[in-house]
Amino acid sequence: MPNSMTNVQPPLEFIPPDFQSGVLKLSQWIFPWWIRFKTPITEIQAENVEQLVELYQQFQQEKVRFMLAFRHPNPDDPLSISQLFWRKIPQQAKKQGIALKSPVHAHFMYDRGIPLWAGNYVTWLFPKLGGTSILRGKLDRQGLRSARNLFVNGRFPIAAAPEGATNGLNHQVSPLEPGIAQLGFWCVEDLQKAQRSEEVLIVPLGIQYHYIRDNWQALAQVLTQMEADCGLTTNNSQPIPSSLYPRLISLGNYLLDLMENFYRQYYHQHIPTDQTEELPIRLQRLLDIALQVAESYFAIKPKGSLTERCRRIEQTGWDCIYREDIKDLEALSPVERGLARRVAEEASLRMWHMRLVESFVAVSGKYVQENPTFDRFAEITIIAWTMITRLKGGNPSQTPYLGKRRVQMTVGEPISISQRWSDYKASRRQAVENLTQTLQAALEKMSQPESKP
């Protein structure tokens, strides 16, 4: 988290889209360089791109409006998707003899919190690439109005991650947020009011990352470092799955013991001491308790999934830091400013519990056991490393390097929202829920394990 999180700040302002073609052209030149030299990605593949070519042609002919709803397992997803639009679609269109108008691009929704940790350049860049900000933890009317307008009237299709945040797992889709489905129905409604006939679609996009080589040696070194950080005796056996899995489980049990005692002793939480309970049960209980500690401070009633609770805590914490109730920070007296800073500091400290949880919201405790591939080992190891790094007070974004990676994107079958309009008129809540479940199933199908070529 940036240093500003420990001091009172002005309100988080909505960042409107401000697309500029010159910035897009510059990004089209810089992004491939950035991917090559600043990420472990060496190869980007895409399946069923012809589907998007046809949809993009229909979009430009004003026959459809569509949203690309993409899986979000990794922070590098936007870079990968940029190459889908800027390179893969134009190349496939040329093969099919279809002349698409340039540029081939997409508007996109992004979390308003991203610029807080990514830096000022993102605050400048995202709007000029056609992005529109959204606050995840509350009803952001201005952000929703902007996204709704882009869906109906934007120069390009719009892209969004219905999971709301990364979960670090290729084959486990987090519960989807219903806002994406609602935006789709609003698009149908707005088009009908404008007497326009475009069909409204949601296009699922699966994204998976695979290591080019199974580097068990590098994985063993990360495990060894984590064991050392925890004061555990290192097992220097051969770096093979059969020896690494017990070490991973042992590390997990140690961390559970440590954190259970932490919340038991310092936050007065009642946690059973039954060591015979399975790891998944203990993990889910610990995540719930960690959120309760933060919710108790902010006087928030626990409600919804772990992800929903995380977003609610985050937004409440931001409300204590980015103060909408203070019109002019400079007008505060030194004493008032000191109190405001105290509120911000305490809110930031309580949000720390939520940050621990959000890394684990999709972790079942059986992910590796179900299919002990190197990719799954690496994903869970990185999640554990992130937790240990947070406990140490380090930077969790600087993850260990385990090797070069290949990105596999899969374009799914379009889901017609227009065809569900009668269902929406009959029951809005049920229609939104059904569409969300359909999209969830589509993304989960595309997230099934695949064999390496």
- Give residue-wise pLDDT tens across range 316-332: 999 999 999 998 999 99
Q: Is the pLDDT of residue 379 over 90?
A: yes
pLDDT of residue 422: 97
* Cβ contacts of 157 within 8 Å, gap of 6 or more: 55, 56, 59, 65, 66, 67, 68, 106, 107
pLDDT of residue 54: 97
Tens of pLDDT, residue by residue over 5-56, are 678 999 989 999 999 999 999 999 999 999 999 999 999 999 999 999 999 9
b/e for 45-58, b at 16 or more Cβ within 10 A? ebebbeebbbbbbb
Distance between CA atoms of 202 and 37, rounded to whole angstroms? Answer: 33
**What CA–CA distances, in Å, run from 210 to 34, 77, 205, 241, 386?**
19, 13, 16, 17, 20
Domains and CATH numbers, the chain: 13-212+404-446 (3.40.1130.10), 216-392 (no CATH)
Residues in the chain, overall count: 453
For residue 241, what pLDDT band results from cuts at 50, 70 and 90? confident
For residue 405, what pLDDT band results from cuts at 50, 70 and 90? very high
Please give the helix or strand (H or E) that residue 64 lies within, else none.
strand 64-70
For residue 1, what pLDDT band results from cuts at 50, 70 and 90? very low
For residue 3, what pLDDT band results from cuts at 50, 70 and 90? very low
Mean pLDDT of 307-311: 91
SS3 369: helix
Please give the helix or strand (H or E) that residue 134 lies within, else none.
strand 131-134
pTM of the model as a whole: 0.91
pLDDT of residue 237: 64
Lowest mean pLDDT among 186-195, 339-348, 391-400: 391-400
Tens of pLDDT, residue by residue over 263-290, are 999 999 999 887 678 888 899 999 999 9
SS3 330: helix
pLDDT of residue 32: 96
Average pLDDT, the chain: 92
Distance between CA atoms of 50 and 48, rounded to whole angstroms? Answer: 5
pLDDT of residue 359: 81
pLDDT of residue 364: 73
pLDDT of residue 5: 63
